Structure 1
Amino acid sequence: MPTASPTPEWLRRRLRAAQALHHGATRREPAPGMRLGIDLGTSDVVSVVVAPDGEPVAVCLDWADVVRDGVVWNFFGAVEIVRRHLDALERRLGHRFAEASTSFPPGTDPRISVNVLEAAGLAVRGVIDEPSAVAALLGLEHAAVVDIGGGTTGIAIVEHGEVIYSADEATGGHHVSLTLSGRHGLPLDEVEILKRERGEEVWPVVRPVFEKMCDIVRRHLDRMPQGDLYLSGGSCSLPGVRELFAREFPAHRVHLPEPPIYLTPLAIACHAADDGAQGARHASHRP
């Protein structure tokens, strides 16, 4: 079985910096050329500011139920969260952002995310599907990215540095929460806390949901029977996810940069800092 190589030091440093900034660490000083990326997820909305060198400068995260299966069902709630993030970032950095990049699950309408940002008063600098954003950040040449979000699982396959295929399936962390809610008789907001605080305890209950995700991914990976497979998304934070994927895909080297919840938002922000050049090179080929 191939073994996973360690996460590159530059990526580990950036992810840990994003985590520290989210939890109140002293921020870096603002710098000219800062860029903002906003990830509208099913379980959370994350805004990340990066300096021109790609290092995180500020992070805002709100646990929120405004997006389901790639659709913004609470439009005004999503807009309000984005505006709140803009206010918080202005207080922290002394700078009011007028533009940002965002993302969308492959196979869904990018305008869904774009409309939220525009309603919050932002010009949209770039928009890219989530697994392609991660692939661009990592500079992958031959690999697959599996982004397990709250409502969907996105897959992108990269050949010679280009995304040649991407797809999205409606199974993600929300389905994990529904399983736990049914098992324990708890409302979904309490279940989300349970997942974050008692992951090892709930893993045996939710493992079948992740096994289903593996089955979904397998249907798309026939285009890349071996190689590197990178996991992303907050749902991958549960203990056991990387080990399960490694067992289910023995011909692949499975990587899980940690903490994974910040990987996609960081990639979106770096897409903004790159003026969208990377994302423009990654055309989505959907089934």
Structure 2
Amino acid sequence: MNEQRLQQTNARLDCIDSLLNQQTPLCYQGGMHVGIDLGTADIQTVVVDDNGYPIAAFLDWADVVRDGIVVDYFGACQIVRQQLDKVEARLGVRPTHAITSYPPGTDPQISINVVESAGIEVSQVIDEPSSVAAMLEIHQGAVVDVGGGTTGTAIIKDGQLQTSLDEPSGGRHVSLTIAGGLGISYEDAEQKKRQGDQTIAPLAKPVIEKMADIVANHINGHQPAAIYLTGGGTLVAGFEAVFQQQFPQIPVVPFSKALYLTPLAIASYGLNGARHD
């Protein structure tokens, strides 16, 4: 990925951060591309215009998905419906189509069912790390997507997806370790993790090292030119340093607002297909 693409992506992530959960009406007329990401720790809806620039973004922390499996179907459907209501309030029009995603190795129909329960048609579905690889236009590399419950890796060679793998180990495991190590509640551990508290780095390190081992197995036999870190789990204090130590010969590329990278990529995937209003 070239430097211009990296800067563009970071600027769009900053934009999402600035407009997150804003329902202030926006005078907008044009195409829209809706991405809905059903994560283990949160559900996000991001809308981009025909140029890929974010115009609406909503996030709800939720405990409705575990390792790619919806454990609270009604709760997931309700959140998606509410976020689409907020999109309508902001943009003045109800989206009719959306793109969604799924962790590699899980059934994509689960995500499709949840999204379509909100009365919107799923136009495309793609696995999470592959959506990021497509948006970043990676020619040779590996995208590591660390969510709340899983670590997924998409390996790209000559611009084509070679394989996409996923294993249980994510931000939830970090929070459990922090909670146990500090003798605090899981909720308090989550807050420390989300705030980037540097004091938790020693506690989180063994879990991050396990994730690095998972990725090492995923890329075994491949030679990625770089490793791109996405997902809220990669924002844990010390994450990038552990990965760079594990892969000293491979550049590790972080994103400061990586929590929003996957839903942005899902929405942006629509730019490659038909445009829907």
Q: TM-score, normalised by structure 2?
A: 0.93
Which residue in 1 is equivalent to 2:199? 201
Equivalent runs, 1:14-33 vs 2, <5 Å: 14-22=12-20, 24=22, 29-33=27-31
Once superposed, what is the RMSD of the aligned Cα atoms? Answer: 2.0
CA distance in 1, matches of 2:22, 2:77: 24
CA distance in 1, matches of 2:149, 2:15: 26
Q: 1:110 to 1:276 in 2, by over 3 A?
A: farther
SS at the partner of 1:212? helix
CA distance in 2, matches of 1:45, 1:226: 30
Counterpart amino acid of residue 198 in structure 2: E
1:270 aligns with 2:277: no
Which residue in 1 is equivalent to 2:176? 178
Counterpart amino acid of residue 44 in structure 1: D
Cα displacement (A) at 1:98: 1.7
Counterpart amino acid of residue 56 in structure 1: P
Greater CA drift, 53-62 or 242-251: 242-251
Which residue in 2 is equivalent to 1:143? 141
Cα displacement (A) at 1:188: 2.6
Cα displacement (A) at 1:187: 3.2
Greater CA drift, 51-60 or 171-180: 171-180
Structure 1 residue corresponding to 2:210, chosen from 209, 212, 227 = 212
Structure 2 residue corresponding to 1:243, chosen from 241, 248, 264 = 241
Q: Does structure 1 conserve the Cα–Cα contact (< 8 Å) formed by 2:23 and 2:86?
A: no
Q: Does structure 2 conserve the Cα–Cα contact (< 8 Å) formed by 1:5 and 1:255?
A: no
SS at the partner of 1:47? strand
Q: 1:202 to 1:95 in 2, by over 3 A?
A: same
Equivalent runs, 1:61-210 vs 2, <5 Å: 61-210=59-208
1:56 aligns with 2:90: no
Q: Does structure 1 conserve the Cα–Cα contact (< 8 Å) formed by 2:5 and 2:136?
A: no
Q: Does structure 1 conserve the Cα–Cα contact (< 8 Å) formed by 2:26 and 2:91?
A: no
CA distance in 2, matches of 1:7, 1:253: 16
Q: 1:239 to 1:23 in 2, by over 3 A?
A: farther
CA distance in 2, matches of 1:23, 1:228: 33
Cα displacement (A) at 1:239: 2.6
- Unpaired segments ≥5 residues, structure 2: none
Cα displacement (A) at 1:223: 2.8
Greater CA drift, 223-232 or 140-149: 223-232
Q: Does structure 1 conserve the Cα–Cα contact (< 8 Å) formed by 2:23 and 2:90?
A: no
Q: Does structure 2 conserve the Cα–Cα contact (< 8 Å) formed by 1:12 and 1:258?
A: yes
Counterpart amino acid of residue 164 in structure 1: Q
Deviation per residue, 1:156-181 (Å, 9 max, x gap): 10011110111000000111111122
Counterpart amino acid of residue 55 in structure 2: V
Q: Does structure 2 conserve the Cα–Cα contact (< 8 Å) formed by 1:180 and 1:206?
A: yes
Cα displacement (A) at 1:194: 2.1
CA distance in 2, matches of 1:15, 1:205: 28
Counterpart amino acid of residue 142 in structure 1: Q
Cα displacement (A) at 1:250: 1.0
Q: Does structure 1 conserve the Cα–Cα contact (< 8 Å) formed by 2:225 and 2:250?
A: yes
Q: Does structure 1 conserve the Cα–Cα contact (< 8 Å) formed by 2:22 and 2:57?
A: no
SS at the partner of 1:270? helix
Counterpart amino acid of residue 100 in structure 1: A
Q: Does structure 1 conserve the Cα–Cα contact (< 8 Å) formed by 2:143 and 2:229?
A: yes
Counterpart amino acid of residue 59 in structure 2: L
Structure 1 residue corresponding to 2:32, chosen from 31, 34, 40 = 34
Deviation per residue, 1:238-265 (Å, 9 max, x gap): 2321121111101111101221001100
CA distance in 1, matches of 2:267, 2:224: 30
Q: Does structure 1 conserve the Cα–Cα contact (< 8 Å) formed by 2:33 and 2:271?
A: yes
Greater CA drift, 21-30 or 69-78: 21-30
SS at the partner of 2:11? helix
Task: Count matched residues.
Answer: 274
Q: Does structure 2 conserve the Cα–Cα contact (< 8 Å) formed by 1:154 and 1:169?
A: yes
- Unpaired segments ≥5 residues, structure 1: 278-287
CA distance in 2, matches of 1:222, 1:97: 42
CA distance in 2, matches of 1:171, 1:47: 24
